[in-house]
Amino acid sequence: MNTQSHTKSTSRSLPIALLRARETVMAPVRDMLQGIQLTEQKWRILRVLDEMGEVEQSAIANEACLLLPSLTRILRTMEADEQITRRQDNRDKRRTMVMITDVGRQILKENLATSLSISNSIEAQMGREKLDNLLDLLEELQAVKV
């Protein structure tokens, strides 16, 4: 008898189930990104910036689910690659405002079709209803206070 015989088996463990599910979804996205020298994180950042316009770094971190120290490093290379621009905010000099560039937008544009076809493939196999159900449950889980 093992130590955790009273616990859920790892196969029915929420953290691992979330991890595995994410692996499945991200595998084809990573294939796409590898072709264009972009990491999953940079892709998320570009999408958030395109969606939100010029925003401060904390907002990006929040939306793209990254910690600020990681973001600092990633934005440094993205700025060097001219995918984004950064400038100090005038009102609050602690803030750095970040914006996507045309280069960044071009990357999104060029990969939109592939990205969409991946989503569509998942939707086709799971069904719209189940997918919505899943997203609702995930949103609810996020809101839990542990």
Residues at the interface with DNA (CB under 7 A): 30, 34, 39-42, 56-58, 66-77, 91-96
Exposure of 124 by Cβ count < 10 A (0-12 exposed, 13-18 middle, 19+ buried)?
Answer: exposed
Q: Which residues contact a copy of itself by CB under 8 A?
A: 2-4, 6-10, 12-29, 40, 44, 47-48, 50-51, 63-65, 105, 108-109, 112, 115-116, 118-119, 121-122, 125-126, 130-131, 133-135, 137-146
Residue written as tokens 């955790």? 4
Binding site partner of 75, from DNA, a copy of itself, none, Cβ cut-off 5-8 A by kind: DNA
Nearer to a copy of itself, 29 or 97 (CB): 29
Q: Encoding tokens for residue 114?
A: 């592939």
Binding site partner of 6, from a copy of itself, DNA, none, Cβ cut-off 5-8 A by kind: a copy of itself
Binding site partner of 39, from a copy of itself, DNA, none, Cβ cut-off 5-8 A by kind: DNA
Asked if 107 and 78 count as a contact pair (C-beta separation under 8 A), the reply is no
Length of the chain equals 146
Nearer to DNA, 40 or 110 (CB): 40
- Rounded to 5 degrees, what angle do the CA atoms 51, 52, 54 make? 130
| E-state strands within the chain | 55-56, 84-88, 96-100
Binding site partner of 9, from DNA, a copy of itself, none, Cβ cut-off 5-8 A by kind: a copy of itself
